[in-house]
């Protein structure tokens, strides 16, 4: 199996090099309006934004920043296939302007725009990002009425273009079965609150890149890609940043494209591709190790695991996991200007292939490891009378 990946330096509002209805999934995190780190990025594209900030008109600046993003969301709708999804990681902003402290609700402003262009909203995810700051209080501290709630979460908006995706051809169905996720992952990942992911700190060399970095952790786009696409799909990130979405797509066996406005990010993105094989396979191994630990614990606690994965031979909870296979990345090589090809192993990882005796999947708590026989139901008197 092979996948291809390419990014360009440019303006995502002008993504005409991407054909319409060609993308299966968008995963992205734009610059957050009204977060001071991004002020000059927005102001460079619209000088009225800086004027609004200088005039201490926060709401005008907020609206004009989001209007710049609106044109990207139009492009996202254009390039997505019908049934394709967009996952947007966005945080609200809190800021004091002209001695007036307030929240700028980026997530609701973006959601309003997405609805206006025809997206269907699906249940969103709240990403709980706990701060380690020693003093988290805002406002009047311990005194009532003048304190503010600490903002420690972001959103992942989930939106679909058109109706539910259909898998009609046998090869599509096969890709879908191989792309299944584990039962225990399904329970965790499809929760509407994520508390187990930490924000990332980038180690960047260039000052101009360091000042611009707002990257999310690898696990966030990797989860979303596994949840909302199948192997071989095309993933697009219009705000590529440090290339994390592209790395996650490589690890998940998807193709990817990205656009990044800041030219200073090009070299760091290419440098990250040099470690992509290691990062990808470490994440894959972590998933498989976690699954083995889960099924071992489930069996030890007296809960049956009724099915066996056909590739690895280990137990799985549902029949939908029987064809699941996570391909290791064998190599990633450059194929052109900001273009790469990833090659995958077609064999399951030997270290995770296990031959589990059939009776080992029956809980130890059952006498002789025998499945309990069904008892003949005892009919109550009223049932006998009815008969």
Least confident range from 14-28, 43-57, 108-122, 372-386: namely 372-386
Mean pLDDT on 108-118: 98
With 70 as the cut, is the pLDDT of residue 361 above it?
Answer: no
In this prediction, residue 211 carries a pLDDT of 47
Domain segments of the chain: what residues?
2-279
In this prediction, residue 357 carries a pLDDT of 64
In this prediction, residue 131 carries a pLDDT of 61
Identify the top-confidence range among 59-68, 195-204, 376-385.
Answer: 59-68
Mean pLDDT on 352-369: 56
| Helix, strand, or coil (residue 219) | helix
Question: Each residue of 239-257: pLDDT tens digit?
Answer: 999 999 999 999 999 999 9
Mean pLDDT on 299-306: 89
How far is the CA of 199 from the CAs of 18, 61, 138, 154, 219, in angstroms?
30, 27, 21, 11, 10
The pTM of the full predicted model, rounded to 2 decimals, is 0.89
Fold for 2-279, please state it. Rossmann fold (3.40.50)
Question: Each residue of 2-41: pLDDT tens digit?
Answer: 999 999 999 999 989 999 999 999 999 999 999 999 999 9
Cα–Cα distance, 214 to 197 (Å, whole number)? 15
With 70 as the cut, is the pLDDT of residue 338 above it?
Answer: yes
In this prediction, residue 38 carries a pLDDT of 96
For residue 85, give the nearest of 160, 190, 166, 156 by alpha carbon. Answer: 160
Mean pLDDT on 204-209: 48
In this prediction, residue 199 carries a pLDDT of 66
The model's confidence at residue 368, banded by pLDDT at 50, 70 and 90, is very low
With 70 as the cut, is the pLDDT of residue 184 above it?
Answer: yes
Least confident range from 93-102, 130-139, 285-294, 307-316: namely 130-139
**Residue 331: half-sphere exposure toward Cβ, Cα within 13 Å:** 3
In this prediction, residue 144 carries a pLDDT of 87
In this prediction, residue 358 carries a pLDDT of 60
In this prediction, residue 145 carries a pLDDT of 85
Mean pLDDT on 188-198: 94
Cα–Cα distance, 78 to 82 (Å, whole number)? 10
Mean pLDDT on 153-172: 96
Q: Would you state the structure tokens that stand for residue 383, as one six-digit string?
A: 């049932």
Contacts of residue 180, Cβ cutoff 8 Å, sequence gap at least 6: 320, 321, 323, 324
Tell me which residue has tokens 């501290």: 141
Q: Give the N- to C-terminal CA distance of the chain in Å, as an integer.
A: 62
For residue 121, give the nearest of 91, 92, 93, 155 by alpha carbon. Answer: 155
With 70 as the cut, is the pLDDT of residue 363 above it?
Answer: no
The model's confidence at residue 134, banded by pLDDT at 50, 70 and 90, is low
With 90 as the cut, is the pLDDT of residue 82 above it?
Answer: yes
CA 385 to chain centre: 59
Q: Percentage of the chain surpassing pLDDT 70?
A: 85
How far is the CA of 318 from the CAs of 182, 223, 315, in angstroms?
9, 20, 9
Query: Measured over all CA atoms, what is the biggest interatomic distance in the chain, rounded to whole angstroms?
Result: 86
Question: Helices 266-273 and 244-252: crossing angle, nearest 10°?
Answer: 30
Question: Each residue of 143-161: pLDDT tens digit?
Answer: 888 888 889 999 999 999 9
In this prediction, residue 69 carries a pLDDT of 98
């Amino acid at each position: 199996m092979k996948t291809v990946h390419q990014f360009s330096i440019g303006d995502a509002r002008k993504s005409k090099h991407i054909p319409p209805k060609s993308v299966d999934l968008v995963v992205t995190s734009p610059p957050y309006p009204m977060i001071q780190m991004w002020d000059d990025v927005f102001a460079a594209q619209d000088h009225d934004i800086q004027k609004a900030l200088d005039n201490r008109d926060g709401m005008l600046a907020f609206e004009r920043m989001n209007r710049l993003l609106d044109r990207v969301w139009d492009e996202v709708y254009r390039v997505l296939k019908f049934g394709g999804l967009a996952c947007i990681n966005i945080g609200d902003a809190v800021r004091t302007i002209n001695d007036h402290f307030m929240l700028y609700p980026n997530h609701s402003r973006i959601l309003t725009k997405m609805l206006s262009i025809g997206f269907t909203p699906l249940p969103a995810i709240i990403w709980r990002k706990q701060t380690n700051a020693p003093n988290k209080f805002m406002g009047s501290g311990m005194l009532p009425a003048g304190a503010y709630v600490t903002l420690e979460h972001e959103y992942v908006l989930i939106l679909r273009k058109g109706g539910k995706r259909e898998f009609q051809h046998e090869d599509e169905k096969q890709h879908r079965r191989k792309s299944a996720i584990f039962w225990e992952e399904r329970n965790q990942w499809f929760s509407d609150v994520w508390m187990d992911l930490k924000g990332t700190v980038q180690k960047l060399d260039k000052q101009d890149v360091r000042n611009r970095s707002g990257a999310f952790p690898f696990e966030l786009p990797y989860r979303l890609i596994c949840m909302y696409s199948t192997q071989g799909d095309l993933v697009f990130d219009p705000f590529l940043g440090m290339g994390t979405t592209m790395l996650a797509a490589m690890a998940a066996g998807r193709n990817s494209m990205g656009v990044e406005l800041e030219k200073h990010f090009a070299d760091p993105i290419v440098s990250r591709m040099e470690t992509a094989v290691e990062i990808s396979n470490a994440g894959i191994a972590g998933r498989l190790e976690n699954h083995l630990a889960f099924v071992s614990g489930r069996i030890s606690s007296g809960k049956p695991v009724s099915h066996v994965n056909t590739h690895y031979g280990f137990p799985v909870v549902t029949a939908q996991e029987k064809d699941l296979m996570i391909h290791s990345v064998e190599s990633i090589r450059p194929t052109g200007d900001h273009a790469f090809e990833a090659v995958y192993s077609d064999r399951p990882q030997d270290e995770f292939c296990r031959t589990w005796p059939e009776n080992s999947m029956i809980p130890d708590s059952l006498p002789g490891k025998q499945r309990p026989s069904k008892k003949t139901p005892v009919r109550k008197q009223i049932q006998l009378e009815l008969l």
